Amino acid sequence: MLAKYLIERALSRPERVWCLGVLLLVAQVAADEPETPAATTSPAVIVTPEAEEIHFSGLLFDGHNDLPWEIRDKANSSFDRLDISQEQLQLHTDIPRLRRGGVKAQFWSVYVPASTAETGDALLQTLQQINIVKAMVARYPETFEFADRAADVERIVKSGKIASMMGVEGGYSIEEDLSNLERLYGEGCRYMTLTHSKSLSWADSATDEPRAGGLTEFGRAVIQEMNRLGMLVDLSHVSPETMKQALAVTKAPVIYSHSSARAICDHPRNVPDDVLPLVAENGGVVMINFFSAFVVPTEQLKTNKLARGTIYDVVDHIEHVVKVAGIDHVGIGSDFDGVPRLPEHLESVATYPRITQELLRRGHSREAIHKLLGGNVLRVLKAAEQVSDELQAVAR
């Protein structure tokens, strides 16, 4: 978590290296935080039996979890060193807390730093991250099983295991070669974020100067190939111009695996209001990120850059996307184990039922809650598979 975040900050804002020290402190505090820190300022969320029933009967499918990078960074890529069958409070994620949180399906991020685009080992490191996820599934077979397709997700969830898919974070992992996309698909990757914190030759990042003017011809070819393969196009991290151009090209619905609403928190990583209707039109889904810096309302961040925010802010983001794009176009993409600060009452993967509780309190129906917990992203996955099947049938 820490290394990833510091690398991202160092690369995206080299002029502000001074803040790394502050972040280091904050991140260390966050890492040592117990699940429910004493110092909360907002009212606790008490999960009622009704909310619990709704939560655990739904299919919670989270869009983005960075545990694999944490295992590399903190445990030398070894589950012997960090055995997640036990609670590991220096992480946001372990098996006991995944179970308490009611996680049924997860996209595990096989993130590698944007600097690998310069060092030339982006694909190699991505394959190493994939091996970490494979080692996890092999080591804990009673808990995890890989899902190839949406139907596998449903089958695995019914069997009581956590359906696992992988997501590539940063298009530099394909090293400007379309055949690497097919290889990553073959390894089990089911989405790719077009960029990370830095712009690529073919797609622009939200947190860097534009290089591609949105998407280049190669960038459009990447999207077409993802459509053909049935790999979801993930628009988290890209610039608004890249979002719009990608939405114009893609034949399949897109996802934002971990982004929130810019109207509430004016951070370039969030989705602007003028893009949300395009996502609705496309049939896609915005999976809300929990990172405090993407969640805390703009005015509040102006007075306190390190404000944590609360679960209530996160539910405001969910409701904003529901209001602008509709209930069919919102999901959950926590970014657990990828961020140094989390809102009050959302400290780990054990806390998801509190979101269901707060949505229920605000009057959302059981059906609506089930859609946003995971029904929507499962629908998107099925639609992308259908597009892929059709494109491959035409090619035959």
- List, by residue number, the catalytic residues: 64, 66, 169, 196, 237, 258, 335
Q: What letters, b where the CB count within 10 A reaches 16 and e where it falls short, cover 277-306?
A: ebbbebbbbbbbbbbbbbbbbeeebeeeee
What three-state secondary structure class fits 309?
coil
The one-letter amino acid at 220: R
Distance CA(271)–CA(325), nearest Å, equals 11
Which backbone phi and psi does 87 adopt, to 5 degrees?
A: -65, 130
User: Is the CA virtual torsion 355, 359, 361, 366 positive or negative?
Assistant: negative
**Cβ atoms 45, 38 nearer than 8 A:** no
With beta carbons less than 8 A apart as the criterion, state whether 130 and 180 touch. Answer: no
Q: How far is CA 275 from CA 246, 247, 305, 338, in A?
A: 11, 9, 26, 25
How far, in Å, CA of 67 to CA of 1, rounded? 8
Q: Find where tokens 């009622």 sit.
A: 48
Alpha helices in the chain (DSSP H): 2-12, 18-32, 49-57, 67-75, 95-101, 116-119, 122-139, 150-158, 178-186, 217-229, 240-249, 276-282, 292-295, 298-303, 311-324, 352-361, 366-370, 376-395
* DSSP letter string, 143-208: TEEE-SSHHHHHHHHHTTSEEEEEEEE-GGGGTT-HHHHHHHHHTTEEEEES-SSS--SSB-BTTS
For residues 259 and 56, what is the distance between their CA atoms, to the nearest angstrom?
Answer: 24
- Between CA 157 and CA 151 the distance in angstroms is 10
